[in-house]
Amino acid sequence: MGADVTGPRERYRAQVRAEIKQRAWEQLATTGVSALSLKAIAEQLGMSGPALYRYFSSRDELITALIRDAYRSLADALRTAADAGADVAGLADTVRAWALDDPQRYLLIWGTPVPGYHAPDDTTAISTEIMATIVDAYHRRDVPPTGRRIEAHLDGHRGWAVDPAVPAATLRQALAFWTRVHGVLSLELAGHFAGMGFDPALLFDDEIDDLLGR
């Protein structure tokens, strides 16, 4: 059996960081990310502001940690679904279920940008992993991709492709999937369908069926 290389101090630090992030998520649900306050979180946890800064040096560092966790959660959910045999439609359902399970988590990534905040490059790497799962699902479909003008720009974008032989047309299909899914979800989570008299789940399914030519 391997030795535990994480000592008590490291475990305690990880626990406190997790508690801070949990309080931050709770705060986002009521005030929104632009009003995120490390001072308020410190008070809730019974610690001073300077003590909290030992775990997160700034508001932006805390936001970055939340964004990384959100991206990683979706990437893992999609990979689990794909490994279980989910097709493109199944991946769309996975994205919607993930978004509805925690709308604030979704809106942190795809909602209104935080003024003055710039996400680090490693968050882009996780989003590329998400797209690779979707591209792979399209590549396994029997329906041949159709040509579009954007394909010339995507032809060299191999970062999304699990298989380097994936044609640019398939990358375009995955991009169309991504924009269509987020278009519907963003409107739904922002409450823009309220009072329109239809079930957003049915609209979502219809959009995916149309996208897949079913």
Domain containing residue 10: CATH number: 1.10.10
Residue 165 resides in a domain: yes
Residue 62 resides in a domain: no
One domain for residues 33 and 75? no
pLDDT digits (tens, 9 = 90+) for 28-71: 888 878 788 889 999 999 988 888 999 999 989 999 999 999 99
* Domain stop point among 37, 57, 77: 57
- Based on the structure, what is the number of domains in the chain? 2
One domain for residues 122 and 196? yes
pLDDT at residue number 150: 43
pLDDT at residue number 144: 54
pLDDT at residue number 203: 93
One domain for residues 99 and 145? yes
pLDDT digits (tens, 9 = 90+) for 13-28: 999 999 999 999 999 8
pLDDT at residue number 204: 95
The span from the CA of 26 to the CA of 62, in Å, is: 13
One domain for residues 19 and 111? no
Dihedral sign, Cα of residue 157, residue 112, residue 62, residue 75: negative
Name the percent of the chain lying above pLDDT 90: 46
pLDDT at residue number 117: 83
One domain for residues 32 and 78? no
The pLDDT of 134-162, averaged and rounded, is 63
Task: Tell me the residue range of the domain where 155 lies.
Answer: 67-211
pLDDT digits (tens, 9 = 90+) for 93-109: 999 999 999 999 999 99
pLDDT at residue number 177: 93
If one counts every other C-beta atom within 10 angstroms of the C-beta of residue 83, the result is 9
What is the H or E stretch that residue 43 is in? helix 38-44
Closest to 134 measured CA to CA, from 168, 101, 162, 102? 162
